Amino acid sequence: MSWTRQDFPDTFLFGAATSAYQIEGHAFGGAGPTHWDSFAATPGNVVRAEHGARACDHYHRWQEDLDLLAGLGVDVYRFSTSWARVLPEGTGTPNAEGLDFYDRLVDGMLERGLKPAATLYHWELPQALADKGGWRNADMPDWFADFTEVVMRRIGDRVWSAAPINEPWCVGFLSHFLGAHAPGLRDIRATARAMHHVLVSHGRSIEVMRGLGLGNLGGVFNMEWANPVDDSPEAARATATYDAYYNRFFLEGIFTGSYPEQALEGLGPHLPQGWQDDFATIGQPLDWVGVNYYTRKNIAPAPGPWPALAEIDGPLPKTQMGWEIYPDGLYRFLKRVSDMVPDLPIFITENGMANDDVLSEGVVKDPERLAYIDGHLDACRRAIAEGVRLEGYFIWSLLDNYEWALGYEKRFGLIHVDFETLQRTPKASYHALAQRLR
Ligand code: FCB
């Protein structure tokens, strides 16, 4: 690898990220059912119908996992709090065991010198709320505000940073238009409503946290660079549409108080009545912007209704996910976000790769992962040198875990997990990074 900490500004923070449903084990500790459980139980949705009932059993092994984080030498641990663990019915009486768990976890981070970066919602919607329409329901912002309050009254005094919702695009579009994530809908009206309610919920949650006196609040957005397949005006138009509903919708909703025209072309007629009046709530001031970045997509025009585009297989080397490796996209997004909100610090809140890692005689060799991280850190350094206020980089993920609809097959971890024995084995990338971060 070509860098050390000295190649980054003194205050630059390195971190690792996980999320609740992907690692904890949702059968434990009184957590309520989530829409991921029912989605996974429906044939055809998830590879081998795998679910998060046990996952990495982090619920019981959290101390070992925090020790591994400390051994890695990162500054920040980005984790999430499960709504269904804290409020098994989505609203109403909290599960004391669930709150105790996050309380211990945060203390465990502080004891080890790790900064707790909390994300309130990373996709495990309580089933009881899904039954009421989930993100389509205009009451979601109220429910989410209440959940925010319950969690942050307990741990808000000790978290270093907090963000309401991981990747609004996935919660809205991937889950309600493409049907690839729970609740698995393919419905443009549901999509428009979910995308808007996610943003209103984000704003309400920020308001609640400010009211409780919390600082260092941000939003976490996933972005994929949109690359036209050719030079035609049709491809340019399709690419602009993709960029609008994927990369621009949520940021512009929050920072400019409007939605991009190319997204409204399709979604506009389906937004809830009075949506234009919600931007004051949506646009609550933030302290930082989080960017989750993995890949680019090659976009071609396609017949049919909005968005009238298709994703085409690209020529670049790919990860185990089939995602093209394209660090330049990260650099370009950093420049774009920085141009939009020059005063706000930016964090890469997720970046990493799935690899077909094999444990052999106690060792996992994953030079591909190191090269991937290296390439993306180069992009970060380029952006910093050009004045971008990038203040941290968090790797997805600490552990191999439940990769949603792709089950346990896709391995993103710096640490290998044997899903039979649950044994953790740090991979070569973990050891190399630990040396660099020391
Ligand atoms: C992101 C998710 C995370 C993980 C990575 C690979 O979109 O936030 O949970 O699935 O992708």
pTM of the model: 0.98
pLDDT of residue 233: 98
**Ligand 1 contacts CB of residue 388 (under 6 A):** no
Q: Which residue, among 143, 130, 153, 150, has the nearest Cα to 34 in the 3D structure?
A: 130
| Ligand 1, atom nearest to 170 Cα | 7
Tokens, residue 428: 């070569």
pLDDT in tens, 226-239: 999 999 999 999 99
Weakly modelled stretches of the chain, pLDDT under 50? none
Tokens, residue 393: 């980089």
pLDDT of residue 1: 53
CA of residue 18 to ligand 1 center, whole Å: 9
CA 379 to chain CA mean position, Å: 20
Q: Which residue, among 377, 361, 376, 359, has the nearest Cα to 413 in the 3D structure?
A: 359
**208 residue type, one letter:** V
Tokens, residue 301: 């025009």
What's the CA gap between 55 and 271, in Å, rounded?
36
User: How many beta carbons lie within 10 A of that of residue 367, not counting itself?
Assistant: 11
pLDDT of residue 176: 99
Phi, psi dihedral angles at 347 (to 5 degrees): -125, 140
CA of residue 353 to ligand 1 center, whole Å: 10
pLDDT in tens, 133-148: 999 999 999 999 999 9
Kindly list the structural domains of the chain, giving each domain's residue range(s) and its CATH number in brackets, ordered by start. 5-436 (3.20.20.80)
| DSSP string across 161-187 | EEEEEB-HHIIIIIHHTS--STT----
CA of residue 62 to ligand 1 center, whole Å: 20
Q: Which residue, among 348, 349, 404, 426, has the nearest Cα to 23 in the 3D structure?
A: 404
Set 124, 167, 224, 403: catalytic member: 167
Conformation bin of residue 64: beta by default, left when phi > 0, alpha when psi is -120 to 50: alpha
Q: Is 350 a catalytic residue?
A: yes
